[in-house]
Every structure is written in structure tokens, then in C-alpha cells.
């Protein structure tokens, strides 16, 4: 039995609700199936609310702490703080609102960022913010560009560890972080496509002072509304966009005209009331991952093996490169958890695949094929064979 199937066949019986055994679900980079225990978490939450009513919050916070514990362990980051929110966008906006943009109106980012960051910065640019979008090269070219552009007007550097279209890993994150530190410029890293795929020790990489956006919707299998902003324990930023959950401990104090205060601890960038059912669902998934021994190393190996297999199968088909080709030829150990393909027919191919009940996705000319730990070798073979059938329908 192959290494891929050794893990995938062990996991598949635990995903009956999503029927992963009998479906070609290759949107693992976007939405992974939830293990059956996630549904138990939803039922647990409903029972808890019925019993506890308005006393539910302390129990809900305990589930959020389970998620924080998982992330601290994954990132080898015992001292980091993790602010929970519904999505990474609200965390992004809260963090941006804590910067001195009046006196330092310049942001360095790349042209390969996900929509949340790109759209928000583009809109702020319309309002006068200076946004420099550098070419999203994964190596020295990007680092050189940052060194050339970073100046006394720079409020922050904002970029991804794994690019959402190409799956290429930014190889210079530690060096970029060091350069930002020497110039006292905060670094925000979007790690939505890195968590649970590409292991990262924050301590070994020297990222203790970095800010990291993390989402549970994809590789963590936590589903929606489980997002975090990792920030350093000595952070004293004061977000202008701030909700009452950022000062939960002082709600009973008299309202006076003193400076707005923020609680010590995790919730500095928080907003307000939320639905804790998502944390109950995700906490069950954390327990499941731990029981199954899904360590960072084991997950990373599974993705590398699957992507290598998909790439080999794709190359064996010898597709017309004018119709479809690899987005890049970086080695698998320098890419994230999906295969990125370039085609002028990407969206049409995706639509045709979906008619065959094959789940992929497309962004412009990029077709993304994302496996998950429960995907077998045979399913990878079927995926590429079905892709071949679809591609035959299109001519340049």
C-alpha cells in the first residue's frame, strides 16, 4: 500500500457525511470535507445553549482556547497571542486601523495576494493610501524589491507565505521579517494557504514579532467563522476599529472620558458578539486530528506526495501547452497544497468538470486542483483522467 493510501484509507471512514470515498473532491485548498465528529460538535453546542442560556460564554471561550492551543502547537509558538474572529477580513481591517497611516501612508504588498487583502488595500489606495504592489516572486527578487521600496514612510509590509493562485511558497519570509524588524516596520503574513500544509516554527524562523492571519475554512477543516490573527505577546497596538470583546474584562467599570483601554491577552483586535457554534465544531475536529496522529509532518508529507502524483499524472498526458500547462515548475517541496494549472479555458474546464461531479476551482486563467488527506491515489488518477476528457473539448 502506498504512503498516500495508508493515510487516506484510514481517514475515509470518518468522513461519511461528506462521502469522500465516492466523490472527487479536489477543492481541498478552498473547502475541505469535515470529519463526522464536526456534526457532533454542532449537536453538543445546541445542547449546551439550551441548558446554559446566557451563561454559555464561558464554555464557548473554552472551545476557542482549544483552537488556540492547536495553533500554538502547530507553529511552535507558546508565547504568541491569537485573536479569534469570524473571518480574516475583519482582523485585517482592525490591524490596519492600528497603524500610523497618517504619518506613514505607505504599504508594501505583492500582486499575488488573496482578494481580502487586495480589495481592501485597493480601496484604501483610492482614498489616498500609497500601496506598492511588488511582483510576487518567491525568492530573492521580492526581497530585493522590499529592500528598495521600504522607507521612512512605510507603515507595514503585507504578504502571503503561500500564494493562493500559484501555490508557490515565499522562501524569504525569515529574511523579510529580519529586514522589517531592523527598520521597525510591522510585518503581516497571510498564512491561509500555509497552515496545516507547510510546517512553520515561529521560533526557529525568527517570527516572534510577526502578525499572522490564519483561517480554519481550508486545510484545518474547521469550517467557517474560525479565523485568527497571531500577534506578539508584547504588542501594544491600539486598533481604531474595535469592539467590546476587546475589553471584555472592563465592561462593569464606569464610563469615563479616559483613553480607550484594551484587555491584556488574546482579544486586542476583536469585534463583538459572535455565534460560538463554529468553535464547537472546530474543537471536535482538533480532537479528531490529534487522535489520528495528524502531525504537521504527516500532513505535509501527504500533501507533497499527492501533489507530486498529480503533477506526474498531468505531465504524462502531454497536454498541448497552449490549452493547459503547469503554472510553474518549482519542486513540490517549494509549493503548497494544490496543483496550479494555467489555461485560457480554466473557468470553462472547471464548469465541465463540475458537470461530472468533479470539484475543482478556477480563478481567471488558473485552474486549481487541491487534494486533502483523505484523497487516495486512485482518486488522483480519476481526477486527471477526467481532466483529460474535459480538455479535449477545447481548442486554442
Q: Is 67 exposed, middle or buried (0-12, 13-18, 19+ CB in 10 A)?
A: buried
Q: Which domains does the chain have, with CATH numbers?
A: 3-36+294-391 (3.90.1150.10), 57-275 (3.40.640.10)
pLDDT tens digit sequence for 218-274? 999 999 999 999 999 999 999 999 998 888 777 767 777 788 889 999 999 999 999
Q: Is 42 exposed, middle or buried (0-12, 13-18, 19+ CB in 10 A)?
A: middle
Compute CA distances 32 → 18, 26, 132, whole Å.
10, 8, 33
C-alpha span between 164 and 246 (Å, rounded): 30
Query: pTM value?
Result: 0.96
Q: What was the pLDDT predicted at 396?
A: 60
C-alpha span between 272 and 309 (Å, rounded): 45
Residues of the chain with pLDDT under 70: 252, 396
Q: What was the pLDDT predicted at 252?
A: 66
- Which of 328, 350, 347 is closest to 339 using CA atoms? 328
Question: φ and ψ at 368, to 5 degrees?
Answer: -110, 130
Amino acid at each position: 500500500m502506498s504512503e498516500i493510501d495508508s493515510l487516506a484509507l484510514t481517514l475515509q471512514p470518518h468522513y461519511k457525511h461528506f462521502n469522500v470515498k465516492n466523490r472527487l473532491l479536489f477543492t481541498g485548498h478552498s473547502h475541505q470535507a469535515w470529519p463526522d465528529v464536526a456534526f457532533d460538535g454542532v449537536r453538543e453546542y445546541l445542547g449546551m445553549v439550551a441548558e446554559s442560556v446566557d451563561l454559555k460564554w464561558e464554555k464557548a471561550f473554552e472551545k476557542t482556547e482549544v483552537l488556540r492551543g492547536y495553533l500554538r502547537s502547530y507553529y511552535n509558538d507558546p508565547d504568541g497571542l491569537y485573536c479569534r474572529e469570524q473571518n480574516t477580513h475583519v482582523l485585517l481591517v482592525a490591524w490596519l486601523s492600528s497603524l500610523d497611516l497618517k504619518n506613514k501612508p505607505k504599504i508594501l504588498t505583492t500582486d499575488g495576494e488573496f482578494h481580502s487583502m487586495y480589495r481592501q488595500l485597493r480601496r484604501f489606495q483610492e482614498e489616498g493610501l500609497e500601496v506598492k504592489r511588488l511582483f510576487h516572486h518567491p525568492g530573492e527578487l521580492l526581497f530585493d524589491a522590499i529592500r528598495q521600496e521600504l522607507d521612512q514612510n512605510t507603515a507595514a509590509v503585507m504578504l502571503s507565505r503561500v500564494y493562493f493562485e500559484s501555490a508557490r511558497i515565499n522562501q524569504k519570509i525569515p529574511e523579510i521579517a529580519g529586514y522589517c524588524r531592523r527598520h521597525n516596520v510591522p510585518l503581516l503574513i497571510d498564512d491561509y494557504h500555509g497552515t496545516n500544509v507547510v510546517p512553520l516554527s515561529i521560533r526557529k524562523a525568527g517570527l516572534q514579532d510577526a502578525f499572522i492571519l490564519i483561517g480554519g475554512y481550508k486545510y484545518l477543516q474547521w469550517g467557517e467563522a474560525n479565523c485568527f490573527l497571531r500577534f506578539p505577546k508584547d504588542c501594544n497596538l491600539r486598533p481604531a476599529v474595535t469592539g467590546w470583546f476587546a475589553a471584555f474584562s472592563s465592561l462593569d467599570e464606569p464610563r469615563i472620558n479616559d483613553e480607550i483601554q484594551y484587555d491584556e491577552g488574546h482579544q486586542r483586535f476583536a469585534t463583538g458578539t459572535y455565534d460560538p457554534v463554529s468553535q464547537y465544531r472546530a474543537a471536535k475536529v482538533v480532537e479528531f486530528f490529534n487522535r489520528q496522529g495528524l502531525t504537521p509532518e504527516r500532513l505535509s508529507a501527504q500533501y507533497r506526495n499527492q501533489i507530486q502524483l498529480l503533477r506526474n499524472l498531468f505531465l504524462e498526458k502531454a497536454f498541448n501547452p497552449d490549452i493547459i500547462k503547469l503554472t510553474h515548475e518549482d519542486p513540490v517541496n517549494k509549493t503548497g497544497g494544490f496543483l496550479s494549472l494555467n489555461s485560457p479555458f480554466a473557468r470553462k474546464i472547471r464548469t465541465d468538470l463540475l458537470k461530472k461531479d468533479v470539484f475543482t476551482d478556477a480563478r481567471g486563467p488558473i485552474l486549481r486542483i487541491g487534494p486533502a488527506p483523505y484523497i487516495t491515489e486512485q482518486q488522483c488518477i480519476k481526477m486527471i483522467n477526467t481532466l483529460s476528457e474535459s480538455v479535449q473539448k477545447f481548442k486554442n
